[in-house]
Amino acid sequence: MDFKLTPSQQMTRRAVQDFVRKEVVPLAQEVDENNEFPLTKYRQALALELLELTLPEALGGIGDDFLSFVMALEEFASGSAALALGIAATEAIVHLLSRYGSKKQQQQYLPRLLAGETFGTAAIRAADTGGEPAEQVHALPDGNGYRLKGTLRYVPYAAAADLAVVFATVENDGICAFIVDKQMPGYAGVAEALMGVRGFPLGRLELNDVHVSGDQLLGGKKSGQMITDALLMRSEAAGGAIAVGLSQAALEAAVRYAKARIQFGKPLSEMEATQNKIADMSAGIESARLLVYAAAFFLEHEKQSTQQAAMAKLIASQLAVDVCKEAVQIHGGYGYVKDYPVERLYRDALFFQVFPTTNEAQRYAVARHAYRKIR
């Protein structure tokens, strides 16, 4: 196994690090306070060809691997989790269209998504994310198309997306994926108020007898569950990468504060208790990072990666909460004040224990694999 980054990966990481340091970090607190998605920075980020990284060359992309994107996403998360989530959500739709979309669908939607002119989202059934099974969409055959009805929650860009990939239950055909346009009658997206990752437009999608034609099917009939599984694994790896980026930002904030804070006549960083915290945080972050990278590698190479993605997101999201909590503790009373970034990072970290899937769902997937593997 080769742990050395390729020249392309090194170049991508340096470019993103420079952009995040100059353009994202200075605005992160403002994004949180105003609860507004940083659209200008989002479009500037896309100019770095992030979405083209994993897009096949035949579709105008670079054709690099998913690991390269995950590394870039981690760097963005160290500056703003809201912006990183926005980029990850769009990349997921680009990937679905590139892999399962028809040529017509690709030509219709990909150019605008890549340019940042439009948003896309994936509305996954709650039963597939560890949520309430009653929250789902049903598709009823209607002439040459279908009528979609139901409500889905925790949908990225719910109120802002111009198109949504909706997974719905079709009688006799199981789960099917449909591309739904915002302009279709009966389509409504409603934004939710969040405790953390403020600025990220998450909400619920309401479909009331939305009519879609047969050519709006993504990947054909009876392929929805396969597409759902692929999307969830990709989203879990991306969520793990963002959690690692948050953890790294919290560690760096804690180290800087510990060096500057004088307590009992010496820097906090020289105290053994603080050193122990920093050591455990550092070791934990590196462990989670390697697990996330491994999950991205397995996904790219078409290997059975359900458990790798589940473990990566589970470990990275739990670590993010623990690391951010320790960073708050190192800051003492100041860690609870909004003037310091660790307060925001802690709230952001909690989000990844329930998104894109709950940690309980990840534990179930990991345990189920262990039961099958160990005889």
Q: What is the pLDDT of residues 164-200, one digit of tens each?
A: 999 999 987 789 999 999 999 999 999 999 999 999 9
Q: Which residues of the chain have pLDDT under 70?
A: 1, 125-135, 302-304
Domains of the chain: 7-118 (1.10.540.10), 121-223 (2.40.110.10), 225-373 (1.20.140.10)
Q: Give residue for tokens 């040459």.
A: 144
CA distance 312 to 354: 14
Task: Provide the 8-state DSSP code for 146.
Answer: E
C-alpha distance from residue 151 to each of 3, 37, 119, 209, 298 (Å):
44, 24, 19, 11, 33
Read off the DSSP letter of residue 271. S
- The rounded distance, in Å, linking the Cα atoms of 296 and 182 is 31
Q: Give one DSSP letter per residue of 286-354, joined into a string.
A: HHHHHHHHHHHHHHHTT---HHHHHHHHHHHHHHHHHHHHHHHHHHGGGGGSTTSHHHHHHHHHHHTTT
Q: What is the pLDDT of residue 306?
A: 79
338-365: per-residue pLDDT in tens? 999 999 999 999 999 999 888 998 898 8
Classify residue 72 by its DSSP letter: H
Give me 136's structure tokens. 């789902």
Distance between CA atoms of residues 170 and 150, nearest Å? 13
Query: How many other CB atoms are there within 10 angstroms of residue 270's CB atom?
Result: 13
pLDDT of residue 221: 84
Q: Residue 188: which residues within 8 A CB-CB, separation 6 or more?
A: 205, 206, 207, 208
What pLDDT, on the 0 to 100 scale, is given for residue 264? Answer: 87
CB-based contact 303:295 (threshold 8 Å) = no
Beta-bridged to residue 77, according to DSSP, are none
